[in-house]
């Protein structure tokens, strides 16, 4: 039974928003819960859009966070297909696209991110795709099937996780695939150069072509249909469809116009404290849009702590665009809204599946931050765990076709212990023991 004396509003009908609504009810909140989303679909999970849903293996029903009937059953009021266009902090209300004013006592911004666009001629042609929404995946899926039948060619701009996963799906349909990437290796911003080559080899074995060290400069076509792409080294590549997979930008417009503090530098986002509270004490942010202070390096014993320089690195705020972060930070923000003591300090965690290779990545160690990469296991067989270190402390770890090690990898990151790289590389030394500061075999 809802009593109307308090109203909590959530803007953003993605995973973070839906999980926050669920948590408010689980924690016994009896006021009104209102969820506002600009997509018409009920909140859904996005990872399948570049994996099982794109390949046709996953049913549409399987991607939704809750069944549609759950919302009414949990007394969560939905405004779907409605953008929140204005946030009036003085009046404590959100204004929707149709002019409806929704009052809040506490507000959660879970507005996520949107794909970055290519700023080149030809992006308006039919056949230029982005991948964020179910409708994007539906359209791309239809095109991949057609490309497979017609021996057609997909060009993917960007060898990040989404670009590579779509490359794998497209090869499954039999489409020709070329990936154009400015760096020298795939996944460069996450893994650095040492292990990116492994993913390039994997995709080449499945027939993907790479064009590294180049950017798209134009997409050409006739009668609105894509025919080719040009790159900045003067080359032209045949293309029938193009996917721009060049990253995502946080949807901060509402927060910014309302004067909430934004994170500076790398990734941007809405700046929040450890309880996911923004610069307005009644407004919280979670999921892809929130920039959280990254705690781990700063918590190492003083004097030893690597003070990473640069924008948004461990001394600053980090925006984590991962499923697990949306899954956990939405509920954490809901608890904070209810007045619980919350300290959100989870290690960033990500997973990906490409062909027969599955991996999990924990932590944060972009190029320029780590000074050494150590592997244990068989890299050539693609069964190993890689660690990114700085001053012999583990900043990040990735397990490839090795399972049930995530907890131990994350413990190594959060403990901040100094490890012997030889012990780390030796599968005979349990990771748990290394996390306790013991490197003996
Ligand atoms: C294709 C794809 C594959 C992915 N694969 C993986 C993976 O394998 N592993 C992994 O860890 N992560 C993956 N991710 C990332 C993961 O899906 C995101 O981190 C997660 O969706 C973030 O959830 P969110 O709720 O913060 O934001 P979103 O899912 O973006 O949801 C935000 C919602 O808010 C809506 N919205 C925004 N502004 C407004 C407004 N003003 N008014 C109303 N509504 C608004 C948006 O339209 C959207 O529906 C993938 C992402 C994509 C796109």
pLDDT mean over 84-100? 97
Question: Which amino acids bring their CB within 6 angstroms of ligand 1?
Answer: 11-17, 36-39, 46-47, 49-50, 83-84, 110-113, 131-132, 162, 251, 254, 287-288, 321-324, 326, 350-352
DSSP per-residue codes, 15-30:
HHHHHHHHHHHHTT--
Residue 317 pLDDT class (50, 70, 90 cuts) = confident
* Range of weakest confidence among 80-84, 91-95, 301-305: 301-305
User: Which helix (H) or strand (E) covers residue 188, if one does?
Assistant: helix 188-191
Residue 437 pLDDT class (50, 70, 90 cuts) = confident
CA–centroid distance, residue 372 to ligand 1 (Å): 32
CA–centroid distance, residue 289 to ligand 1 (Å): 9
Q: What is the pLDDT of residue 304?
A: 43
pLDDT mean over 141-152? 97
Q: Using H for helix, E for strand and C for coil, what is the string for 44-105? A: ECCHHHHCHHHHCCCCHHHHECCCHHHHHHCCEEEEECCCEEEEECCCCEEEECCCCEEECC
CA distances, 325 to each of 215, 402, 433 (Å): 30, 22, 27
- pTM for this entry: 0.95
CA-based nearest residue to 164, from 150, 145, 185 = 185
Q: How far apart are CA 268 and CA 275, in angstroms?
A: 18
Would you give the DSSP letter of residue 42?
P
- Atom 20 (ligand 1) nearest CA: 323
CA–centroid distance, residue 261 to ligand 1 (Å): 21
Answer whether residue 414 shows pLDDT above 70: yes
* Ligand 1 pocket: which of 9, 10, 11, 12 to mutate (most atoms within 8 A of CB): 12
CA–centroid distance, residue 113 to ligand 1 (Å): 6
Q: Is 352 left (phi over 0), alpha (psi -120 to 50) or beta?
A: beta
Which atom of ligand 1 has the smallest separation from the CA of 253?
Answer: 41
Which atom of ligand 1 has the smallest separation from the CA of 131?
Answer: 1
pLDDT mean over 384-390? 95
Residue in this structure with the two tokens 């059953």, named with its chain if needed: 73
For CA atoms 363, 364, 365, 369, give the dihedral sign. Answer: negative
Residue 397 pLDDT class (50, 70, 90 cuts) = very high
Sheet holding 241-244, edge to edge: 128-129, 241-244, 153-157, 176-181, 209-212
DSSP per-residue codes, 295-337:
-TGGGSPTTT-----STTSTTSEEE---HHHHHHHHHHHHHHH
Whether 54 contacts 46, CB under 8 Å:
no
Radius of gyration of the chain from its Cα atoms, rounded to whole angstroms = 23
Q: How far apart are CA 295 and CA 367, in angstroms?
A: 19
Answer whether residue 28 shows pLDDT above 60: yes
CA–centroid distance, residue 143 to ligand 1 (Å): 23
Q: How far is CA 44 from the centre of its chain?
A: 14
Whether 156 contacts 342, CB under 8 Å:
no
User: Which helix (H) or strand (E) covers residue 113, if one does?
Assistant: strand 113-115
CA–centroid distance, residue 117 to ligand 1 (Å): 16
Answer whether residue 15 shows pLDDT above 50: yes
- Atom 16 (ligand 1) nearest CA: 323
Answer whether residue 314 shows pLDDT above 80: no
Q: Which residue has the higher pLDDT, 184 or 417?
A: 184
Sheet holding 93-96, edge to edge: 84-88, 93-96, 101-103
Mean pLDDT, all residues of the chain: 92
Q: Tell me: the pLDDT tens digits for 248-303?
A: 999 999 999 999 999 876 678 999 998 999 999 999 999 999 998 876 653 433 33
Residue in this structure with the two tokens 């995530």, named with its chain if needed: 406
Q: How far apart are CA 366 and CA 347, in angstroms?
A: 15
- DSSP E strand boundaries for 128-187: 128-129, 153-157, 176-181
CA–centroid distance, residue 378 to ligand 1 (Å): 34
CA distances, 79 to each of 13, 43, 115, 224 (Å): 9, 11, 23, 36
Q: Tell me: the pLDDT tens digits for 173-191?
A: 999 999 999 999 999 989 9
* Range of weakest confidence among 34-43, 64-73, 205-214, 409-418: 409-418
Q: What is the pLDDT of residue 305?
A: 45
Q: What is the pLDDT of residue 307?
A: 47
Q: What is the pLDDT of residue 416?
A: 84
Q: Which residue has the higher pLDDT, 348 or 304?
A: 348
Which atom of ligand 1 has the smallest separation from the CA of 329?
Answer: 26
- Atom 38 (ligand 1) nearest CA: 111
Q: Tell me: the pLDDT tens digits for 42-61?
A: 999 999 999 999 999 999 99
CA–centroid distance, residue 417 to ligand 1 (Å): 34
Answer whether residue 172 shows pLDDT above 50: yes
Which atom of ligand 1 has the smallest separation from the CA of 84?
Answer: 42
CA–centroid distance, residue 248 to ligand 1 (Å): 10
CA distances, 245 to each of 17, 169, 420 (Å): 24, 14, 38
- Atom 53 (ligand 1) nearest CA: 132
Whether 280 contacts 270, CB under 8 Å:
no
CA distances, 184 to each of 119, 210, 327, 379 (Å): 22, 10, 33, 20
């Amino acid at each position: 039974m809802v009593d109307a004396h308090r109203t909590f509003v959530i803007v953003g009908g993605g995973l973070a928003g839906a999980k926050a609504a669920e948590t408010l009810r689980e924690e016994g909140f009896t006021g009104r819960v209102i969820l506002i989303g600009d997509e018409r679909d009920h909140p859904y999970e996005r990872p399948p859009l570049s994996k099982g849903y794109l390949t046709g293996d996953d049913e549409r029903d399987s991607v939704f966070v809750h069944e549609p009937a759950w919302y009414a059953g949990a007394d969560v009021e939905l405004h779907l297909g409605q953008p929140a266009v204005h946030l009036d902090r003085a009046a404590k209300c959100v204004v929707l696209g149709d002019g409806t004013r929704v009052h809040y006592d506490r507000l959660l911004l879970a507005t996520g991110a949107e794909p970055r666009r290519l700023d080149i001629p030809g992006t308006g042609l039919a056949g230029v795709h982005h991948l964020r929404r179910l409708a994007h995946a539906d359209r791309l899926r239809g095109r991949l099937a057609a490309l497979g039948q017609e021996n057609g060619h997909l060009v993917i701009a960007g060898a990040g996780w989404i670009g590579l996963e779509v490359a794998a799906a497209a090869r499954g349909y039999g489409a020709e695939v070329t990936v154009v990437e400015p760096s020298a290796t795939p996944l460069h911003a996450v893994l650095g150069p040492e292990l990116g080559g492994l993913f390039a080899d994997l995709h080449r074995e499945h027939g993907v072509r790479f064009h590294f060290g180049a950017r798209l400069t134009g997409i050409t076509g006739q009668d609105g249909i894509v025919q080719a792409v040009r790159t900045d080294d003067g080359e032209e590549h045949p293309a029938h469809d193009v996917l721009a997979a060049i990253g995502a930008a946080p949807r901060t417009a509402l927060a910014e116009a309302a004067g909430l503090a934004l994170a500076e530098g790398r990734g941007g986002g809405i700046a929040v404290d450890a309880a996911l509270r923004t610069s307005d004490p009644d407004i919280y942010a979670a999921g892809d849009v929130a920039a959280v202070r990254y705690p781990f390096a700063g918590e190492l014993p003083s004097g030893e702590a690597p003070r990473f320089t640069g924008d948004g690195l461990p001394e600053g705020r980090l925006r984590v665009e991962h499923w697990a972060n949306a899954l956990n930070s939405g509920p954490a923000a809901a608890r904070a809204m209810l007045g619980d003591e919350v300290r959100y300090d989870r290690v960033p965690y990500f997973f990906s599946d490409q062909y027969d290779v599955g991996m999990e990545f924990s932590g944060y160690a972009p190029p320029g931050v780590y000074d050494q990469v150590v592997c244990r296991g068989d890299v050539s067989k693609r069964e190993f765990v890689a660690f990114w270190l700085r001053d012999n402390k583990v900043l990040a770890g990735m397990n490839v076709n090795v399972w049930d090690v995530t907890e131990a990898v994350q413990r190594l990151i959060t403990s901040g212990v100094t490890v012997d790289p030889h012990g780390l590389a030796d599968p005979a030394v349990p990771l748990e023991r290394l996390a306790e500061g013991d490197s003996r075999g």
